[in-house]
Chains A and B, each alone.
Chain A
Amino acid sequence: MMMTCAEARKILYDIETTTGEPTLAEPGSMIALAKAHVMVCVACSEYFERERAFIASIHDRLAAPSAPVPQAVLAAVLETTSRARLQEFDTLSVPRTQRLLRWLKRTFMRS
């Protein structure tokens, strides 16, 4: 069965335009048929080639792998983690305080 350009592009759009491991197609599956179509169809192979080039250019232009972090941001982040630690310490301490209050109530309210 020969596949049309429309079917092949719809089936393969995600697969052909996603970064990562290539999808293996089981022989006779729709993906395999679509890939077979693209191999012989100049228009479809050019279509996917151009789409992949555009996507690669999006990545190249926008994906800065690392950047210097402003000192103010680093200071704010470290302050945040220090505050988070303090809050956690307080939270951990609350049950102990509550236990003490309950003990005091039990001890002195009875008498």
Chain B
Amino acid sequence: MSAEGRPFPPEGFTPSLPKVSHLREGMPGTLRPEDSAEYPPEGVKPSGGRWRLWRLLRSLRFAVILMGLIALACVVGTIIQQDTPQAVQRGERHGPLATFLGLHRLYGTWWFLGLLALFALSTTACALSRLRFQLRSLGSAMVHLSLLFIVAGVVLRGLVGLDSYVAIPEGETVDSIQVGDDTVPLGFQLRLDDFEVRRHGDGAEETRWLFLKYPGVHAEGAHGGPLMQYVGTNGSDALMMKFSEDTPTLTAPFQVGKPLHVRLYGTRIEVLRYLPDFKMPMTKGGEPYSASEEPSNPAIQVRVTSPGPLDAYVSRVTISGEPGREPRAASILVNQPLRAGSFMFYQVDYDHETERGTVLEAVYDPGVPLVFIGFILMPAGIAFVFYVQPLLKRRRGRPEAATRENEYRTPNTECPISKSDEARSFSRTS
């Protein structure tokens, strides 16, 4: 009996033996020709690298250890900030060990993918060595087979999948996408006819003073809208603003005495007044005034109008040149992608400055059907294992599989407590 409590080898299992003819006599792991094909031969313990490998792969303990290692690696990847495209652009460097291990792009490293590949192998081996061609193995087979479908789909995506961002200003047409250094033709033309941003409500207006000597956070958008951070002046009469750490600094020149309308991320900024030497009046309710003409405390009064929160943004496009199809119009929204040719187009972003340009993502992923088959098989298989299999066991007249005695030896999914056991329950008062 193996340590896992099951007879080994399991009935019906015949591993393929190495062909004897091409191996030298007496080599470890071979049988002498006079031995029969019986397995395992008496007195001979299977040995050899291939055999040990198989034993490792079919071992549940190995599978569980792999699952634990994958979980651990996943956790590390969420603690250590993974490279964003911006970080890659900035050429950020990390310590030598982190770079070697690829900790900042963990999910694509050789060792992580190797763990996943090993897990797929282990799943296959464990399933093959334990499951029979019986109805009651169906659930388990479905679950573990689904894992392989998913892995196959992911591999296919990695090998031949394409995806790329496509920015299209209103009125423009694209017929190809850039994937790395290659230009991939779409096979049709895509024209952005109209782009619309819809918002909830009218937004909010706020009037405040910015002290040009003291940069900092100054204007908050209402309803969770963008936060405008006044960064400073660039020496001349120009305001520098940021909306978040990742956005570039926008420079907005202003002229004293002239209102300025700037559309930044939908936010409008008007410069109303300029005071070279800002002073608050002593009396309550009085207006600020300028104590002198010297710019010792320069300040400007701005009115910031923030838009309401985003409701939706729509790209209205025309697709033409598809082989065998008439030109057609379509709308692309988040959650409503467009299928054209062999690509899918997703609404991911838009030109925040002009709000007249869209950013779509073009994706080609032939592995999706495989992954989705896995997605259907997996819950179905799990439901089968936990809710159908016990009924089958009971119907086949194996009530012993459902008693408490066996509940720790086999994966007993039958709840061992039946109504009649209530008499023996701890609480006897109900």
A binds B: no
By a beta-carbon cutoff of 8 Å, the part of chain B in contact with chain A is none
